Amino acid sequence: MNIKNRPLWLWPVIFIAFAFGALTIKSGGAVIFFDGPARLAAGNYLNFVVWFNFIAGFFYILAGLGFLLNKKWTAKLSITIATATLLVFAAFAIHILMDGSYEMRTVIAMTLRSVIWTSFAFVAYFSAKNNSTI
């Protein structure tokens, strides 16, 4: 399938994967690597969550490329991203339940990541299964 022949519904998925990946790398990198305003604004952040999200950002971009180029591995990658995100979210929830400090915006961000990548995993899986766009 030619890039120009992508179904219209797939373009937002591609755009979100690329944009979300780039923004995730930028924001996570600012907290991890720079002792400045971004780190102060992050508040009570957990290193493992920030590191996971930073690394995941590169995989978001790779998945976006897979969607764009109609690669079959996109389904497995999207499922892996969704599963890993849900596992990190569960570990984060355990931290909260054990009275660990956290920021509510992290709960919101992890919920958003979980919903987006679970949705993308379903899209990629069923598209691959039906031999359509992925």
Q: What Rg, from alpha-carbon coordinates, does the chain have? A: 16
pLDDT at res. 134: 57
Q: Is 85 exposed, middle or buried (0-12, 13-18, 19+ CB in 10 A)?
A: buried
- The owner of tokens 């998925």 is 13
pLDDT at 39: 85
- Number of domains comprising the chain: 1
- 134 belongs to a structural domain: no
CA distance 32 to 51: 7
User: What is the SS3 assignment for 100?
Assistant: coil
Residue numbers in the chain where pLDDT is lower than 50: none
Which domain does 105 fall in, by range?
3-129
- The answer for residues whose C-beta is within 8 angstroms of residue 101's C-beta and 6 or more apart is 44
Tens of pLDDT, residue by residue over 34-44, are 888 888 888 78
Report yes or no on 11 lying in a domain.
yes
